[in-house]
A = this chain, B = another copy of it.
Amino acid sequence: MSKLTDVPKRILIGRALRSDRLGETLLPKRIALPVFASDPLSSVAYAPGEILLVLSVAGVSAYHFSPWIALAVVVLMSTVVASYRQTVHAYPGGGGDYEVATTNLGARAGLTVASALLVDYVMTVAVSISSGIENLGSAVPFVVEHKVLCAVLVIVLLTLMNLRGVKESGTLFAIPTYVFVAGVCLMILWGAFRGLVLGETMRAPTADYHIKAEHQGLAGLALVFLLLRAFSSGCAALTGVEAISNGVPAFRKPKSKNAATTLTLMGLLAVIMFCGIIVLATVTKVRMAENPATDLLRGGVPLGPDYVQNPVISQVAEAVFGKGSVLFVVLAAATALVLFLAANTAYNGFPLLGSILAQDRYLPRQLHTRGDRLAFSNGIVLLAGAATLLTVVYGADSTRLIQLYIVGVFVSFTLSQIGMVRHWNRHLATERDPAARRHMIRSRAINAFGACLTGLVLVVVLLTKFTHGAWVALLGMCIFFATMTAIRRHYDRVSEEIAAPEGPSEDTVRPSRVHSVVLVSKIHRPTLRALTYAKLMRSDTLEAVTVSVDPAESRALCEEWQRRGIDVPLKVLDSPYREVTRPVIEYVKSLRRQSPRDIVSVIIPEYVVGHWYEHLLHNQSALRLKGRLLFTPGVMVTSVPYQLASSAAAGARARRRQEWNAPGSVRRGPAQVRPKGPTAPKS
């Protein structure tokens, strides 16, 4: 793309380029799947293990419940996918859970969902990276020996990448995700082939270990509670399912249909992989414990604190492919990579949600404008900081982190499904076409079932996980909720304060005159330029003002002023304490006091330099003065810039910065305002 400096051409090509870019950005299904599904698909790397971990509390005999729990997760997954298929069709604008909850349940529900999602993004980074490190560690022991350090390094790396503005590319997501999916499917098929056809016995590395049950022979309510806890942990497989509903605008047309198909495909893959891994784990006799050091026994002896418990997926891969085989290593690498991509998803989703929240004035407005690097940077740094904190506090232990993870997910699932039920109710009230009504009633039934099921799971998760860490997630949600409420309240107060009254007001009453004051410290080019510009503005009075910090200098200034015959009167302000700001402020105030209906225009010559350290050497008093003048009513402050040679460097930097890619641009779809869903009138 060559540089165009010609205006009409640029305007012409500008349009062309735009549609170009539009086409380029829209995602075909085969790319959309990995972009949006890396998060939910990658969760099969840890979810099955979590189920076994919890069951191990009741001893190895409880492991026979695992297929039933997997079945429950599959039912839940199918329900959620079916529910979100409805959402995708009803909200093609890609508002996602926040939009659905806000539109149908009101602002507070929407804000709750938003808080839950923000916490979720933080957890996605912490959990995915910790789990990725554990998977990588099954092939590279060094990594697992320095778990926290490595996890933090990966966070830092992702953060830098996203701050730098790496363009999110579909291909980047596609390759590792497809390698991962293919690897897991191959593992399942090869395992089935070896077991069923060849009749071989595959044994996981932990198959010979025994589990010391913390509660042997659990029964009744206690057993039910344990099974529910195992189920809650297994629900980690559902994280990220809602991503597609946020990203409908990024799909090729027909958007909703393609998105729904991708959603179904993703659900199918997740279910197959999840069940396959659970079955293989049962067959190969994988043994896991919450406290492997004490509860896993080899020949009756605990394994001790040095034992590193590898993830289920890597134990199964070892059993099926053989330890150290090429396929084993490739799968471990692909798993880690997909998990890191899942973490990167949060880096993209966080600013995207932030932008929507900013549009609704729950977050600073600048988050709304795309490509605002500074605003995005703040969001990214906040996300990375919170994730690092959690990773360090929880020792990069994915099992402990997952306890915090699922609350947020199910809060947003539940509220969003309830919102959808309301959505259909509202539309049923007006819809007359019987076919459309039948369709809506069916959708409502699906969403109602989804709401009940996810609501139930939320209760279960809260009951079983609250003391295990879910309270931290709830606390995080409360903090986000309170902050956003405060911001919104501030914006509302200001907007009320500045609302323009109808008819004439004090702001439209024309002041009688303008006194222009040019600040002068020396006679140099910036001053001369400022004077020239000031004269051009034809204000009622024009004078130059200098602050006499050094009597000798100001005497010299006056002499040169006269010698050059500058036709603007020069006023010297006395400054006994060698201050600059105060005398000017006092002078401006005195002008206003003499004629309160006039305004004062203060014109300041400013150097424009190219480097931050040069900035420290210039304009400091001008900046301070400007800041103070803005507090003085009836004043306008004009900067007349003088570009020093070094400013060219900054110009180039600014241009480079403009070409920066905001994270999340691929999944956000083409640049456009979030359209309100056609069937979603704002309540």
Contact = CB atoms under 8 A, between A and B. Distances in A.
A578 B673 contact: yes
Nearest to A610: B631
Contact of A607 (B494, B593, B654): B494
B620 A375 contact: yes
Nearest to A550: B673
A631 B644 contact: no
Contacts of A629: 641
A638 interface: yes
Interface string A518-532: 000001111111011
B647 A579 contact: no
A262 to B, nearest CB: 26
Interface stretch (A113-121, A305-313, A366-374): A366-374
Contact of A365 (B497, B527, B620): B620
A536 B537 CA distance: 10
Contacts of A509: 532
Given A487-B617, A523-B500, A537 B514 contact: yes
Given A497-B644, A641-B630, A647-B631, A525 B507 contact: yes
Interface string A635-678: 11111111111010011001000100000000000010100000
A631 B643 contact: yes
Given A499-B524, A500-B528, A529-B507, A617 B550 contact: no
A539 B537 CA distance: 6
A509 B531 CA distance: 11
A635 B630 contact: no
A513 B494 CA distance: 37
B636 A640 contact: yes
A365 B579 CA distance: 12
Most buried by B among A368, A507, A614: A507
A639 B642 contact: no
Nearest to A635: B641
A636 B601 CA distance: 13
Interface in A469-500: 487, 490-491, 494-495, 497-500
B628 A671 contact: no
A541 to B, nearest CB: 13
A361 B510 CA distance: 45
A671 B590 contact: no
A500 B524 contact: yes
A160 interface: no
A364 interface: yes
A366 B577 CA distance: 14
A170 to B, nearest CB: 20
A533 interface: yes
Contacts of A324: none
A525 B510 contact: no
6 contacts: A7-B593, A371-B577, A372-B620, A505-B528, A514-B536, A639-B639
Given A365-B620, A507-B528, A628-B654, 6 more contacts: A364-B616, A374-B624, A487-B617, A500-B528, A508-B531, A508-B532
Interface of A: 7, 14, 18, 364-366, 368-372, 374-375, 487, 490-491, 494-495, 497-500, 502, 505, 507-511, 513-514, 523-529, 531-533, 535-539, 549-552, 564, 576-582, 590, 593, 599, 601, 603, 606-608, 614, 616-618, 620-621, 624, 626, 628-631, 633, 635-645, 647, 650-651, 654, 658, 671, 673
